[in-house]
Amino acid sequence: MKKSKVVVDKEFILGEVDRRIYGSFIEHLGRAVYEGIYQPESPFADEQGMRRDVIELIRQLNVPVVRYPGGNFVSGYHWEDGVGEKEKRPSRVDLAWGTIETNQFGLNEFMDWAKKAGTEAMMAVNLGTRGIEDARNIVEYCNVPGGTLYSDLRKSHGYDAPHNIKLWCLGNEMDGPWQMGHKTAEEYGRIAAEAGRIMKMTDPSIELVACGSSSYGMKSFGYWEDTVLQECYEQVDYLSLHQYYGNRDNNTPEFLANTVALDQFIASVVSICDGVRARKKQKKYINLSLDEWNVWYHSNEQDKKVERWSKVPHQLEDVYNFEDALLVAGMMITVLRHADRVKVACLAQLVNVIAPIMTSDTAAWKQTIYYPFELISNYGRGRVLHTLVQSPVYESAHGNAPFLDCVMTMDEEKETLAVFAVNKSLDEEMELTCDLRQFEGYQVKKHVVLTHEDVKAENTEEHPDTVVPRENGKSSLENGVLTAYLPDKSFHMILLQKA
């Protein structure tokens, strides 16, 4: 049995948990919108065509913010196409994904859906094929109460009260040559600064996210962040970073070690932000928005067969397995371990497209990655304790990877502690111990385990409960010391509460 030790101190707080780190993403891509959250002909649809079964599953995830409408899609999007009378809305080619967009679901429908799903919007503006004036216009449409061209246009569409969207993305992945309107760092930094300035003139209460690197592996990584922030530091509040991982070589230990790479990525971006801050002699800190993250590789070959200019094709429909759930859990733990600077994070995406939720005409079901997200989103609240992990390690391409990923959160209002842990060993149980004598009167209330003997096990419509969490974990708190036993390849949520 492997042995590990976790060290925390009640007074050593890493940071507050910003609820928006449990965000997600809906893009006009594949079946995320159509047949995902919106399917008027479905027996599960409500009076607006929104799928009630999907809304219920999303509410269980407790997602506070959803990024919309893209993604690569937004860089060619005219938001005006998706508002007003549906019969007059144009269909357009979507150059990002090679499909046809009907615009039968747009901005106002999304805002209606968001209310039903118990979430808020993180709206992206098109800085690819459009620019500064259009960015101003959409803020006016959404946030100005009335008496102006675009606010009155919103009212004419049946929305008298403003949407009051507070979080905005200044484009998407503008460092990527695949992006419509791709720009150099200098070009993007300038348009982000000017768009951001005029958007905040329209509504000073909004917050803005500038595009960082599309992945840690971008050749321009580092230079891009530094140059962009030199131009727009004063106007923006967050810098984005995106990261996906895959197990193309079928090497599970290496795949699970990607939490080390994500940790390095986040730490590097924080350093760059603070370097620009020092040079500019700024008081303001730029925080991070990890607004695209997930496992993505299963559907790559299938997507090569998608017919060009089709409507609502099955695109990016990864069927996730158990090892994917372990990495998703590890990535969420890593994000919490950077809660002092990561204030927004969006699992990409939410329904059907690289998503925790899948739908068909007859059902909606939970993929394996649904469960770690649900458990951490619902129980990882309050403050993050600075969590020192003493664990055996193994060699990986990213350096030594700990067999244990772990973090602890403290909710003082509810008088609870939550321990999130992943044992990455494929063949050996682990004993975890932690001295909690500072937390007098606490007891183990719940120990939920997600595990399976087969790392390739999947949940499908026919077999939706192949990989599910069970409340059968082995842990105890005696004489102030927590002892937990973590089976090989397993994720754990241990909840302690003051009696």
pLDDT tens digits, one per residue of 24-82: 999 999 999 999 999 999 999 999 999 999 999 999 999 999 999 999 999 999 999 99
Within this chain, do residues 420 and 359 fall inside the same structural domain, yes or no?
Answer: no
Which pair of tokens denotes residue 385?
């304790």
Please compute the mean of the pLDDT values over residues 232-247 and round it to a whole number.
98
pLDDT for the residue numbered 64: 98
3-state class percentages of the chain: helix first, strand second, coil last, to nearest 5: 30, 30, 45
Q: Alpha-carbon distance 350 to 32, whole Å?
A: 7
CA torsion through residues 25, 293, 356, 379, sign: negative
Domain boundary among 334, 352, 379: 379
Residue 42 burial (C-beta neighbours within 10 Å; 0-12, 13-18, 19+): buried
From the list 434, 411, 409, 427, the residue with the least C-alpha distance to 419 is: 409
Please compute the mean of the pLDDT values over residues 458-480 and round it to a whole number.
97
488 alpha-carbon distance from chain centroid? 27
Q: Tell me if 356 sits within 8 A of 459, measured CB to CB.
A: no
Within this chain, do residues 307 and 223 fall inside the same structural domain, yes or no?
Answer: yes
**CATH number, domain with residue 462:** 2.60.40.1180
pLDDT for the residue numbered 309: 96
Within this chain, do residues 338 and 420 fall inside the same structural domain, yes or no?
Answer: no
Within this chain, do residues 458 and 368 fall inside the same structural domain, yes or no?
Answer: no
Please compute the mean of the pLDDT values over residues 112-120 and round it to a whole number.
98
Within this chain, do residues 296 and 207 fall inside the same structural domain, yes or no?
Answer: yes
Q: Tell me if 207 sits within 8 A of 238, measured CB to CB.
A: yes
pLDDT band at 228 (very low <50, low <70, confident <90, very high): very high
CB count, 10 Å around CB of 396? 18
Pairing, β 120-125 against β 167-170: parallel
Please compute the mean of the pLDDT values over residues 7-35 and round it to a whole number.
97
Within this chain, do residues 396 and 303 fall inside the same structural domain, yes or no?
Answer: no
pLDDT for the residue numbered 36: 98
* Residue 179: cis peptide before it, omega within 30 degrees of 0: no
For 301-356, the pLDDT digits (tens) are 999 999 999 999 999 999 999 999 999 999 999 999 999 999 999 999 999 999 99
**CATH number, domain with residue 339:** 3.20.20.80
pLDDT for the residue numbered 34: 98
CA 46 vs CA 38, 39, 51, 55: distances in Å: 9, 9, 6, 10
pLDDT for the residue numbered 304: 94
pLDDT for the residue numbered 201: 98
Which pair of tokens denotes residue 25?
């993403």
pLDDT band at 120 (very low <50, low <70, confident <90, very high): very high
For 156-168, give the DSSP string: HTT--S-----EE
Number of domains in the chain: 2
Eight-state DSSP code of residue 453:
S
Within this chain, do residues 277 and 417 fall inside the same structural domain, yes or no?
Answer: no
Within this chain, do residues 115 and 27 fall inside the same structural domain, yes or no?
Answer: yes
pLDDT band at 6 (very low <50, low <70, confident <90, very high): very high
Average pLDDT taken over every residue of the chain: 98
The H-assigned helical ranges of 233-369 are 252-256, 258-280, 300-303, 322-336
Please compute the mean of the pLDDT values over residues 348-365 and round it to a whole number.
98
Per the listing, tokens 């089976």 go with 487
Within this chain, do residues 143 and 259 fall inside the same structural domain, yes or no?
Answer: yes
Q: What percent of the chain has pLDDT over 70?
A: 100
Within this chain, do residues 28 and 51 fall inside the same structural domain, yes or no?
Answer: yes
Domain boundary among 379, 396, 426: 379
pLDDT for the residue numbered 7: 98
Contacts of 143 (CB under 8 A, 6+ apart): 162, 163, 164, 165, 202, 203, 206
pLDDT for the residue numbered 218: 97
Q: Alpha-carbon distance 118 to 207, whole Å?
A: 20
Q: Which helix (H) or strand (E) holds 421?
A: strand 416-423
Contacts of 2 (CB under 8 A, 6+ apart): 391, 392, 403, 423, 425, 428, 429, 430, 431
Within this chain, do residues 182 and 207 fall inside the same structural domain, yes or no?
Answer: yes
Please compute the mean of the pLDDT values over residues 457-476 and round it to a whole number.
97
* Residue 480: cis peptide before it, omega within 30 degrees of 0: no
**Four-CA torsion 73, 327, 20, 163, nearest 10 degrees:** 30
For 198-216, the pLDDT digits (tens) are 999 999 999 999 999 999 9
pLDDT band at 431 (very low <50, low <70, confident <90, very high): very high
pLDDT for the residue numbered 415: 96
CA torsion through residues 314, 319, 324, 329, sign: positive
Domain boundary among 338, 358, 379: 379
Pairing, β 474-478 against β 416-423: unpaired
Q: Tell me if 256 sits within 8 A of 323, measured CB to CB.
A: yes
CA 344 vs CA 123, 239, 248, 283, 474: distances in Å: 13, 10, 28, 21, 33
Q: Alpha-carbon distance 475 to 78, whole Å?
A: 54
Q: 318: domain range?
A: 18-379
184-194 burial, b at 16+ Cβ within 10 Å, e below that, comes to ebebbbebbbb
Within this chain, do residues 29 and 144 fall inside the same structural domain, yes or no?
Answer: yes
Q: Enumerate the active-site residues.
A: 173, 292
Q: Where are the beta strands (DSSP E) in 320-373?
A: 342-347, 357-359, 364-366
Q: Is residue 131 helix, strand or coil?
A: coil
